[in-house]
Amino acid sequence: MRNSYTEILQHKVEIPIIQRDYAQGRTDDKTNKIRKDFLDVLFEYIQKKLIKSSISELELDFIYGFNEQESKDKFSFIPIDGQQRLTTLWLLYWFVASKENVSDEERAFLFNFVYETRHSTTIFCENLIRFKPGFTSEAITNEIKNQPWYFETWDFDPSIQAMLIVLSDIEARYNHMGITSAWDLIGRTACPFYFYKLDMDKIGLTDDLYIKMNSRGKALTEFEYFKAGFSEILTNPSEKERFEKSVDQDWIDAIWNIVLEPGNLKNEDDIALIVDNCFLNLFNFITSVIAFKKDWRYKDTMVSAELLKTIYSDTMHQNILFETLDAICLQQTNNSAFWGNTFYYDKDGFQSSKSRLYFQHQEVNLLKRCLFHFGGQRGLSFPEQLILHACFTQFKTQSIDFENRIRVIRNLVVNSENELRETILSYSFEEVEQYIIHGDLNVFENFKTDQIEEEKKKEHFLKQSMTEIDLLKKLEDSDIFRGNVSLIPLDQNFGFRSEKFLTLFDEYEILSDFNNRCDLLLSFGDYSQNDGALTNLMSPTSRTVIRNFFTTPGFNKAQFYNKTQTVILDCLDYFIANLTISIDDKIKEKLVYYISNPKDWKYYFMKYHSFRKDCTRGYYWHNGDYGIWKMRVRQFNGYHWDPFLYELAHSLPPEYISLDNFGAKLLLSINGNKLLISTLPNGFLFENGMGNGTDNSVLDELINDNVICNSGELLISQNSEGVDLEDRIEKINQVLENIFSK
């Protein structure tokens, strides 16, 4: 049917929620040309009509849509294609009517044009149609922006900004042409702009066709699909109205405020698209938690479209979603500093009211993390999701003692990496939620058992010793422990030992001064732990390796408590009792002790730090105290060395000495002779390294001088238990230096 623009507006025209933003006001080159061409056509027509009133009407192509009956004689037209042209014409008519003081009755049909793509755009258009500008010396756009009903956040609404740009162009053309009575040429009965209006419902087409017909503009975004589809899921009119209002007002405004914080955007970013995607990330997170608790697997609004309908056909799930989003908005309004007041990362930022986080991204605002990254390549880990869910639960319930409860949650999720599997997350989310609400540790069944028991012990301990709470929190927050403090018993000595541990084993110094800290522990005894066939003495690779050593293991608990804990507590108690003794003093004291006493393996590790160098996976003891391989990898097909030979290879002249990386013997080359040296339980073995049994004058001389036995052994003096009474490295060094000096 062929209709004039004013005839179409005799009934309500509603731009639906499924439509994209108004685009003709964008400032990219392509859109600038489209806008210029369309406005040129309109104003050139008006100019020609001023000269020749009998000029024929201007046809503006097809528009497609549906009719919705509101009453017997009243219906709404829902355009599926034609939004851009209809909107630009509406702006032209509003400007001309305002500029030429057209009566309210004459311009009343303009009130029938309604925007529903965003709530903000709806409100803007409602205010604009009622606004009567004074057309002072300032531009119309500035006059609009200076009105009390204009919100600052609208500066970032793409449809509103596009409308303002088009109005600015309309004003420029109107003023340039010197028009004063355009309304007489385009007003109601005189309207010369015609469309071919196709009512899709009358010809049996569905709104699915819109996807194919959207070639006039950009493809629909996931957010636009979501808004239209989700509204259809909500059968309760009040819930539907609540959603449609909130999704484009309160909820989206809260996200705008976060997105616009400094550092979140780049200059070239499409801000509105980012905000839309941020909302979807938040929606998907909340929905995924609901789904997990039903043991469903939800991904996002597109992939899981059918599951989405199942989830939100349940009014209980609708309420969870709406209440969570409302609570987030309220929290952002009333306590936007929540995240910075609840979490911190740097050691020096410790406050007893905060809990330290350890995620690599270093972002305390986990809501912002969710907005920008949930579902993406840098998606949220399970520990992040559980902590975020705990915070959202707190927003809704405002439970007491939250600062201590979120700390317990932090402790559990950080120390339950092996337990946090997708198959049991339904229980994990529910347990976290119930604990935040009720504070009962007995709800936990699916986190690491050792950590659950530790949290119960801490709770009991603090009931008896509340004065220790700040120190306990500080110890928990150390990057060495990350909430697992089972190394330090919760008894009457806890306070003294905790303070001393934080001093002696500071999380930064334990890496920067690793050898000294290991020497210190060795001076008190064997603190090692078995790791399968290997023996672990810690590694300076990272604090993660050290943390695994100092916190309750999943296995070898007996060694952890009987060896590691015993040595560390002896160390702490010693320094508590000897305040003037330094770490270096204690190490020197032990090395002095060894001068006149048997030298076990601990002595060599303390004196020769090369024993730890390049060893990242532990040690393999294969023949008493001195038969050792140090391992860079767990298997023998990777780098591994005899630490005694490694020390010799790195302390003697390299022109004479070489040692390969796969457990080889030490090769000594001098004066055309080659010797192979290996370690024995009671010394070293010298062998002829010459091929085919060639004579070796160096080896012969060592035997003739009784430096080594006829069998090639350099024997070390030992006690009855086979422990060295002399430093075997010093002894062989003397032998080798004598060889070099000849």
Most confident of 40-44, 51-55, 134-138, 637-641: 637-641
* pLDDT reported for residue 454: 97
Which position has the higher pLDDT, 553 or 711? 711
User: Given a cut of 50, is residue 209 above it in pLDDT?
Assistant: no
In a domain, 480, yes or no: no
Coil vs helix vs strand at 155: helix
Rg (CA), the chain: 39
User: Which of 660, 622, 668, 623 shows the shortest CA–CA distance to 640?
Assistant: 660
In a domain, 481, yes or no: no
Most confident of 34-48, 166-180, 391-405: 391-405
pLDDT, the chain, mean: 90
Residue with tokens 């008190």: 524
**Phi and psi at residue 113, to the nearest 5°:** -95, 120
* pLDDT reported for residue 302: 81
605, 592 in Cβ contact below 8 A? no
In a domain, 698, yes or no: yes
* pLDDT reported for residue 206: 46
In a domain, 487, yes or no: no
Coil vs helix vs strand at 413: helix
Which position has the higher pLDDT, 29 or 447? 447
User: Which of 612, 651, 605, 660 shows the shortest CA–CA distance to 632?
Assistant: 612
* pLDDT reported for residue 202: 60
How many percent of the chain have pLDDT more than 90? Answer: 65
Helices (H), 52-157: 83-99, 104-107, 119-130, 140-145
Q: Which of 397, 430, 452 is the last residue of a domain?
A: 452
**Which pLDDT band, with edges at 50, 70 and 90, does 271 fall under?**
confident
In a domain, 261, yes or no: yes
Q: Indicate whether 301 and 341 sit together in one domain.
A: yes
DSSP 400: T
* pLDDT reported for residue 513: 94
Name the least confident of 308-317, 471-480, 532-541.
532-541
Q: H or E element: which one contains 391?
A: helix 382-397
In a domain, 613, yes or no: no
271, 262 in Cβ contact below 8 A? no
Residue 177 CB burial class (10 angstroms; 0-12, 13-18, ≥19): middle
Q: Indicate whether 537 and 670 sit together in one domain.
A: no
When pLDDT is averaged across residues 594-621 and rounded to a whole number, the result is: 96
User: Which of 431, 436, 428, 443 shows the shortest CA–CA distance to 404?
Assistant: 436
* pLDDT reported for residue 216: 39
* pLDDT reported for residue 218: 44
Q: Indicate whether 499 and 425 sit together in one domain.
A: no
**Phi and psi at residue 479, to the nearest 5°:** -65, -15
pLDDT tens-place string over residues 644-663: 999 999 999 999 999 999 99
* pLDDT reported for residue 355: 98
* pLDDT reported for residue 214: 45
- The structure's pTM equals 0.74
Structure tokens at 42: 């309109």
Range of the domain at 95: 2-219
Q: Which of 418, 452, 486 is the last residue of a domain?
A: 452
What residues form DSSP beta bridges with 724? 599, 718
**Which pLDDT band, with edges at 50, 70 and 90, does 599 fall under?**
very high
Q: Indicate whether 211 and 232 sit together in one domain.
A: no
When pLDDT is averaged across residues 120-145 and rounded to a whole number, the result is: 90
Structure tokens at 33: 């040309």
CA distance 544 to 559: 19
* pLDDT reported for residue 210: 45
When pLDDT is averaged across residues 248-275 and rounded to a whole number, the result is: 84
> With DSSP H G I counted as helix, E B as strand and the rest as coil, what are the percentages for the chain, rounded to 5?
55, 10, 35
**Phi and psi at residue 427, to the nearest 5°:** -75, -40
Other C-beta atoms closer than 10 Å to the C-beta of 687 total 15
User: Given a cut of 90, is residue 669 above it in pLDDT?
Assistant: yes
When pLDDT is averaged across residues 399-415 and rounded to a whole number, the result is: 97
Which position has the higher pLDDT, 230 or 394? 394
Q: Indicate whether 70 and 137 sit together in one domain.
A: yes
Structure tokens at 569: 């507590």
Instruction: Determine the residue type at 284.
Output: N
User: Given a cut of 70, is residue 215 above it in pLDDT?
Assistant: no
Task: Could you list the beta-strand ranges (E) of 227-371.
Answer: 343-344, 355-356
Q: Indicate whether 118 and 265 sit together in one domain.
A: no
Residue with tokens 């004013």: 6
User: Which of 133, 122, 121 shows the shortest CA–CA distance to 158?
Assistant: 121
Q: Indicate whether 196 and 282 sit together in one domain.
A: no
Instruction: Determine the residue type at 666.
Output: L
In a domain, 471, yes or no: no
In a domain, 272, yes or no: yes
pLDDT tens-place string over residues 78-95: 888 788 899 999 999 999
Q: Indicate whether 165 and 86 sit together in one domain.
A: yes
Task: Could you list the beta-strand ranges (E) of 486-545.
Answer: 529-531, 534-536
* pLDDT reported for residue 204: 47
Number of domains in the chain: 4
* pLDDT reported for residue 201: 62
* pLDDT reported for residue 270: 76
**Phi and psi at residue 270, to the nearest 5°:** -80, 100
User: Given a cut of 50, is residue 527 above it in pLDDT?
Assistant: yes
CA distance 482 to 739: 53
Distances, alpha carbon 566 to alpha carbons 214, 487, 522, 528, in Å = 73, 9, 12, 11
| CA of residue 333 relative to chain centroid, distance | 23
Residue with tokens 């740097």: 346
DSSP 202: G
What residues form DSSP beta bridges with 652? none
Instruction: Determine the residue type at 269.
Output: D
* pLDDT reported for residue 61: 79
What residues form DSSP beta bridges with 194? 4, 59
List of long-range contacts for 435-443, beta carbons under 8 Å, 24+ apart: 435/390, 435/405, 435/408, 435/409, 436/390, 436/393, 436/394, 436/397, 436/399, 436/402, 436/405, 436/406, 436/409, 437/393, 437/397, 437/399, 439/399, 439/400, 439/401, 439/405, 441/408
User: Given a cut of 90, is residue 96 above it in pLDDT?
Assistant: yes
What residues form DSSP beta bridges with 584? none
Other C-beta atoms closer than 10 Å to the C-beta of 191 total 21
What residues form DSSP beta bridges with 59? 194
Q: H or E element: which one contains 315?
A: helix 315-334
User: Which of 626, 592, 596, 608 shows the shortest CA–CA distance to 726?
Assistant: 596
599, 722 in Cβ contact below 8 A? no
* pLDDT reported for residue 75: 82
User: Given a cut of 90, is residue 700 above it in pLDDT?
Assistant: yes
| CA of residue 323 relative to chain centroid, distance | 24
* pLDDT reported for residue 220: 52
* pLDDT reported for residue 2: 81
DSSP 562: I
Q: Which of 596, 618, 643 is the last residue of a domain?
A: 596
* pLDDT reported for residue 221: 65
Most confident of 128-137, 367-376, 597-606: 597-606
**Which pLDDT band, with edges at 50, 70 and 90, does 73 fall under?**
confident
Q: Indicate whether 234 and 383 sit together in one domain.
A: yes
Buried b (16+ CB within 10 A) or exposed e, 674-683: bbbbbbbebb
Q: Indicate whether 229 and 207 sit together in one domain.
A: no
**Which pLDDT band, with edges at 50, 70 and 90, does 205 fall under?**
very low
Q: Indicate whether 513 and 638 sit together in one domain.
A: no
User: Given a cut of 70, is residue 213 above it in pLDDT?
Assistant: no
Q: Indicate whether 159 and 241 sit together in one domain.
A: no
